[in-house]
Amino acid sequence: MRCDPAAATVEVVKLMDASTPQQIQMSKESGRNCFVPTAAESFRRGQPVGFFSGILQEQDKADRALRQLDDSRNLWFYDIPASALAGYGYTGPDLVLNMLDRGSELRFTQDAKWHNPNGDNNIAAVLWVLPMQLADGSSLPIPYIFCHAQTRQIRKGAELLLDWGDECWGAYHQAQVVKQGAAMHRLHWKLARVQQLAAQYNIPTAHTRLHQSGRLDFTAAALPATPVAAAAAPGRAMTEGLTAAAAAGAKRPASGEASSSRAAKLQVVAGAYGHVRQQQQQQEQQQQQQHASDPAPDAGTGTGTTSDQQAAGSSGGDADGVRCIVVFDPDTEEFKMQQIQAGSSSSSSEDDGSSEEEGSSEEEEEESGEEHFSVRIAGAEAAVESEESRSGEQLPVPAAPLPQDAFVPVAGLQLQQQCVWQLPHGLLADYEAAGTALGNRIGRLIVEGPLEGAPKLRVVDVASLHHPARWCTPPNVAARGAVAATVIDRGEAITDYVGVVHREADFSSKSSADDVLDQAYCFTIHAKDLLQACPTLSETRIKDLVIDAREVGNESRFINCAWAREKRPDGKPHRNYSARVVWVKSLKRPAVRLFADRCAIEEGEELVAHYGDPYWVAMGRSLQVLQMKYAKAALQQQEKLLRLLRAAAAEGRVPADEVEAAAEHKPELNAIVKFQA
Ligand SMILES: C[S@@+](CC[C@H](N)C(=O)[O-])C[C@H]1O[C@@H](n2cnc3c(N)ncnc32)[C@H](O)[C@@H]1O
């Protein structure tokens, strides 16, 4: 037998059919064309739930374009690092399991965080390596990613949920926020055009002004829909490493020897087995042949169809003898729900499929007592989507720093250049004592005193719609940034990150889910970095700290996050500085100091950080909710004004063609538009 990963996939699917009772259901929360797996029977805690299947590929041969961090299709690749397989004699490159257009039911598993703010997961994934028997009697080790009921029993009918890991979500959320933000801005500028017309013809617009809020607003009860995206992938084979492992004699892991491989770059919302498509084509051919011999309009598709498709493992829920399967159409790159009547097979529209499924999943949900949050802001989502698709405009993501006229200086901000320490007295005394004990020791992370001299950064309003932070922020909230006020040489200290310093534990116990956006200005100092900067601190007493720059801070609180991970065209990194925890000797306190140690920074150049994946995982969804709220308000105002304008046009007070032109207006973001609060 040849080592064929596609064949291995089929084997896996067959195994799953025999052992893993799962179903694919249409998700009510996520709307159309979004599928989730549910338990067809109860799973005890610790019990295996199933495993992933797909095309096993060498990582560097998987389509690079699809593996860009900000390409959502990247979410369908499960990383299998070579290091995780080394124990089995594997010597090849890193692998990925490519599940873009095929997979088991578990391919549809969504991340628990979308549904449950507590992040409570039902299932965990671990990597196992099992030998595949070859015809010559030898065996080939094949990695499988198994899932088991991790945290609690999974009741029949409950949705299976998995934690796909922050790495998987950070870049995705960031990209989503920017994309959705751009659509929100189009709605905003379209409203501006309608308002302008109304003002021109004396239609009262006072009541249509949007609420002006300087503070970001967030409600946990309204989460945006999970994304649905998919694409067909060119199937490519890998195997040299596996063959090497086979030659070295692969071992079967003892139970409990499984190596963890939890942080997949993956989120699954819709999909199907690739080979189901082949079966579908066979059915279609059968259907055509049958139609040719029997032209009766309600002719079935022949016997055996249902059981064939069940054998493929893609069965949906049962409802009065109706079964649904999910099929991937590589031509349209879409996933569709297809209904199969008992004893016959007939394609139905996605909507038909969805309504059948909704009925059954509703009952199951009640039975399982699972609670879900609303994921839509009625009306806004559709409007944002239609703005995105109608415009056809490519988002002009800047490859290089924006020119200086993209920013407008901001004056009159009250800035503070030193931290305010709000730690219990005893803990502050610890810092004092550690500073005294430090004596004359001067290390790399010890600095003499606070930074002096004129600030090297300037706060600016991001006026250009080319800037992702501008797209991301609702038009009625200022989007700011920090630029270099002077040339900053490579290696130079720039400023300290300043704010109110709390103990991390105290800070997070006070914050609620609604405060997520308030944490947008927080910088966490890990205890290990504190100890490195000041080895005389007491290891047992020193815990993580947070510098909260929400209300107290300097220019550094306005530094935006990088929007690309590649280098700039001029060869410089997008992220143009680093932050380090240092010990300020004269103050006997630590500080977070920013250094231009990655490159020299020109005057007027924007300072750019990389906030890290956890930041975007925590913030991304809240920012999207905020955007949706703004979009909804803008849409309502626009509709209200258009009604008034059309009524006025019917009375001849406003030219009807001008009203319709405003209604059809498609604002261009590819122009620098000064932000107007
Ligand atoms: C620390 S603040 C930076 C200053 C912020 N622009 C302001 O006006 O206050 C972080 C927030 O800025 C926005 N932001 C920063 N970098 C961004 C980026 N690359 N893309 C989109 N939004 C960004 C997000 O709203 C984020 O939560």
Question: How does pLDDT run across 248-264, given as a tens digit for each residue?
Answer: 543 433 333 333 333 34
Q: Which domain holds residue 420?
A: 404-605
Instruction: Identify whether residues 262 and 114 lie together within a single domain.
Output: yes
3-state secondary structure at position 129? strand
Domains identified in the chain, total number: 3
pLDDT over 80 at 651, yes or no: yes
Which pLDDT belongs to residue 294? 46
CA of 2 to the centre of ligand 1 (A): 52
Let me know if 541 is exposed, middle or buried by CB neighbors in 10 A (0-12, 13-18, 19+): exposed
Answer whether 178 contacts ligand 1 (Cβ < 6 A). yes
Instruction: Give me ligand 1 centre to Cα 519, in Å.
Output: 12
How far is the C-alpha of 376 from the C-alpha of 384, rounded, in Å? 12
Residue 30 banded pLDDT, cuts 50, 70, 90: low
Nearest Cα to 612, choosing from 163, 173, 78? 173
Which range scores top for mean pLDDT: 201-210, 213-222, 238-247, 577-586?
577-586
- Ligand 1: which atom is nearest the Cα of residue 471? 21
**51 inside domain:** yes
DSSP-derived 3-state class of residue 183: helix
Beta carbon of 16 within 6 Å of any ligand 1 atom: no
- The verdict on residue 244 lying in a domain is yes
What pLDDT does 414 receive? 83
CATH number of the domain that residue 265 is part of: 2.170.270.10
Gap between the Cα atoms of 614 and 30, Å rounded = 23
550 and 454 housed in the same domain: yes
Question: Both 27 and 149 in a single domain?
Answer: yes
The CB of 216 under 6 Å from ligand 1? The reply is no
CA of 469 to the centre of ligand 1 (A): 5
pLDDT, tens digit, for every residue of 504-518? 888 776 665 556 777
Mean pLDDT of 416-442: 86
Tell which residue, 445, 462, 408, has the closest CA to residue 535.
445
C-alpha distances in angstroms, 80 versus 85, 168, 267? 8, 14, 16
163 lies in the same domain as 21: yes
Where are the extended beta strands (E) located within 203-243? none
Tell me the pLDDT of the chain averaged across its residues.
69
pLDDT at residue 223 tops 90:
no
Q: pLDDT of 486-497, one tens digit each? A: 999 999 999 999
Q: How far is the CA of 24 from the centre of ligand 1 (A)?
A: 38
With contact defined as beta carbons under 8 Å apart, do 79 and 265 qualify?
yes
Asked whether residue 319 falls in the same domain as residue 431, the answer is no
Protein residue whose Cα sits closest to atom 13 of ligand 1: 469
User: Does pLDDT of 641 surpass 80?
Assistant: yes
Residue 311, domain member (yes or no):
yes
Mutate to test the pocket of ligand 1, among 395, 560, 624 (most ligand atoms within 8 A of CB): 560
In this prediction, what percent of the chain has a pLDDT beyond 90?
18
Highest mean pLDDT among 21-35, 258-272, 525-539: 525-539
Does pLDDT of 583 surpass 90?
A: yes
Q: What's the pLDDT score for residue 222?
A: 23
The answer to whether residue 281 sits within a structural domain is: yes
Out of 557, 573, 605, a domain closes at 605
Q: Is residue 407 within 6 Å of ligand 1 at its C-beta? A: no
From 584, 605, 626, give the residue that closes a domain: 605
Say yes or no: 240 and 307 in one domain: no
Looking from the CA of residue 478, the nearest atom of ligand 1 is 8
Residue 617 alpha carbon to ligand 1 centre in Å: 14
> How close is the Cα of 620 to the center of ligand 1, in Å?
11
> What is the rounded average pLDDT of the residues 65-88?
72
Residue type, 147: C
558 lines ligand 1 (CB under 6 A): yes
- Taking only the tens place, the pLDDT of each residue in 459-471 is 998 887 778 888 8
> Which protein residue's CA is at the shortest distance from atom 7 of ligand 1?
480
Q: Say whether pLDDT at 119 is over 70.
A: no
Domain-terminating residue out of 216, 237, 271: 271
Q: Domain check: are 148 and 239 in the same one?
A: yes
Indicate whether 322 and 290 sit together in one domain: yes
Is 249 part of a structural domain of the chain? yes
Task: With respect to residue 387, please indicate whether it lies within any of the assigned structural domains.
Answer: no
Q: Cα(318)–Cα(320) distance, rounded to whole angstroms?
A: 7
Residue to mutate (ligand 1; options 546, 561, 563, 575; most atoms within 8 A of CB): 561
Based on the fold, state whether residues 360 and 489 are members of the same structural domain: no
267 with 313, same domain: the answer is: no
508 located within any domain:
yes
In a domain, 655, yes or no: no
Q: Do residues 117 and 147 both lie within one domain?
A: yes
> Considering only 174-183, 325-334, 396-405, which range has the smallest mean pLDDT?
325-334
Ligand 1: distance of its center to the CA of 677 in Å?
A: 17
The C-alpha angle 64, 66, 70, rounded to 5 degrees, equals 110
- One domain, residues 451 and 498: yes
